[in-house]
Amino acid sequence: FIRRLATDLPALRKSRHQQELLLAPQYNIFRVLPIERREAVLHSPMLAHLLDPTASHGQGCLFLRAFFQVAHMNARLPPPAEPLDASQWSVRKEVYIGNGSLDLLIECPMQKYVLVIENKIDAAEQHTQLSRYYRWLKEDRADYATQRLILLTRTGRASESSRKVPCVLMSYHRDIREILNETVDQVRAPRVKELVGQYQAILNNWAQEETNEELIGICFLAPRLYFGAP
């Protein structure tokens, strides 16, 4: 086997070099920069851009509609009325409200529909942060029929600081990946499709890393459970 491997290795290396030359399968602009885990630099702006039906991606309500569909199925978020009119929807990031900034604010005054998304990748929430955002929703959008606060994390975990604040739990691992999976093949613009694909690869890599960590933990723990702790 080793002799055969030694004989075949140069051809395998050449084949790999050709693949990298033509396809660059490991190339990802978000890793190159590197910003793949930076919430305020990458993830909030990226989501705000994709969900904004008037943004330069040119795909209209494609991503916003998929977001509402996935959030309704997975997190029981009430969906807005169809058809969605791009001109009626506003998607903004880092909206200052006097005692903090909302990561994402999605609203449609015509439908009296508003969502606040608090985006957390690695950091925990600040003290009373969700409480302040929930109070802002109730006071500044008091006449809106649908008001929801969404806590978006990698795994969909519950709030660590404001457990009594009503909020919808969503995750990158399930929900955002599902949105991208459902939309990437429908994107008509090649440049946008490539960007969405690279962002999708970042989230898939996260999920794979955590799966690997869980498997390592199971492999380490299993013998201890079977044979007993020393």
Q: Which pLDDT score is estimated for 119?
A: 96
Question: Is 5 a residue whose pLDDT tops 80?
Answer: no
Q: How many other C-beta atoms lie within 10 A of the C-beta of residue 85?
A: 13
**Beta strand segments in the chain, E:** 90-96, 101-108, 113-120, 146-153, 168-171
Phi and psi dihedrals of 114, rounded to 5?
Answer: -145, 140
Residue 91 neighbours by CB under 8 Å, 6+ apart: 48, 51, 52, 53, 55, 64, 104, 105, 106
Whether the per-residue pLDDT at 60 is higher than 90: the answer is yes
What pLDDT sits at residue 140?
97
- Give the mean pLDDT of 67-77: 97
3: confidence class by pLDDT, cuts 50, 70, 90? confident
Whole-angstrom Cα distance, residue 171 to residue 175? 5
The answer on pLDDT for 15 being more than 90 is: no
- In this prediction, residue 85 has a pLDDT band, given cuts at 50, 70 and 90, of very high
Is the per-residue pLDDT at 124 higher than 60?
yes
In percent, the amount of the chain with pLDDT more than 70 equals 91
pLDDT higher than 60, residue 30? yes
Of 97, 86, 78, 84, the residue nearest 148 (C-alpha)? 78
For residue range 172-229, what is the model confidence (pLDDT) as tens digits? Answer: 999 999 999 999 999 999 999 999 999 999 999 987 877 665 556 556 555 565 556 5
pLDDT tens digits along 129-155: 999 999 999 999 999 999 999 999 999
pLDDT at 61: 98
Find out whether 100 and 133 touch, Cβ atoms under 8 Å.
Answer: yes
pLDDT for 112 beyond 70: yes
* Mean of per-residue pLDDT scores for the chain: 90
pLDDT at 207: 79
What's the confidence (pLDDT) of residue 218?
A: 59
For helices 62-75 and 44-51, angle between their N-to-C axes, nearest 10 degrees: 110
* Contact present, 214 and 194 (Cβ < 8 Å): no
Q: Kindly write down the DSSP assignment for every residue of 71-129, as one continuous string.
A: HHHHH-PPPPPSSP-GGG-EEEEEEE-SS-EEEEEEEETTTTEEEEEEEESSSPPPTTH
Least confident of 93-107, 119-133, 152-166, 207-221: 207-221
